[in-house]
Amino acid sequence: MNQASIDKVAGILWQTRLAQGRLSALPADCKPATLDEGYAVQAAMVGLAGQKMFGWKIAATSAAGQKHIGVTEPLAGRLFADFVLPDGGSLAAAPLQMLVIEAEFAFRMRHDLPQRATAYDVDEVRAAVADLHLAIEIPDARFEPFDTIGPAQIVADDAFAAWFVLGPKVVDWAARDLPNQPVCVFRNGMVAAEGRGANALGDPSLALTWLANERAKRGPALKAGDVITTGTCITPLVIAPGDAIVAEFPGLGRVTVNLT
């Protein structure tokens, strides 16, 4: 793809996102075929968005999640500031296509992790973290159907990034056993999903390390202040208008969102 094609598809996808519309397919002359092309489209969206990047998301961090959307590895997407909701905030559910929520751990970076020739290890990456937060991601797709479009177009579609709820900080996070941390999601006061931190690539810290190295390889690298949500700890939970969602991380706290 040349830059004109990259810019064209980025514009199509961004405007579809703002309109909460749906695409059956992209024009043949600007359809990304490789991950590199998909990430180039993502990068072009930053210039179109007119808003700051808030951070990054990691999609497909479990074998089941990868199988569901037909990929064999995690994928990175960008979080944008105008799509971040406050803890306890509300969101209209009817325009959403995927209609699921995910309970996640999100790291805020204290230091940059610049591009370099050697890979970062998990200890280096954890040392660059400022805070760990509880979070809810509400992904969405601009394609219909979305589960057969392949990894290049999923990446171009910002790895299905949409809405994000940043919850409270985790006290003394570095001492926590994140892989074995239980997670319980309540829908309208009833237990609707359960999981644990290991569902995010075995350990949320390992998921963060994967992204640090992915970004160090492809660019742009992770920067101080970036918030990275590391993948769902539960099987994505189906939602509907009127649902009140509470993601409980026993011993750590909770984060909530209301669907209108």
Q: Order of strands across the sheet with 244-249?
A: 90-91, 253-259, 244-249, 182-187, 190-196
In this prediction the pTM is 0.97
Listed in sequence order, the residues at least 6 apart from 18 whose beta carbon sits closer than 8 Å to its beta carbon are none
* H runs (alpha helix) in 60-203: 63-69, 122-127, 151-156
Listed in sequence order, the residues at least 6 apart from 43 whose beta carbon sits closer than 8 Å to its beta carbon are 220
For residue 185, which of 241, 138, 229 has the smallest C-alpha distance? 138
Domains of the chain: 52-259 (3.90.850.10)
- What tens-digit pLDDT sequence spans the chain (260 residues)? 999 999 999 999 999 999 999 999 999 989 999 999 999 999 999 999 999 999 999 999 988 788 888 899 999 999 999 999 999 999 999 999 999 999 999 999 999 999 999 999 999 999 999 999 999 999 999 999 999 999 999 999 999 999 999 999 999 999 999 999 999 999 999 999 999 999 999 999 999 999 999 999 999 999 999 999 999 999 999 999 999 999 999 999 999 999 99
The amino acid present at 127, given as its one-letter code, is A
Burial, 63: exposed, middle or buried (Cβ in 10 Å; 0-12, 13-18, 19+)? exposed
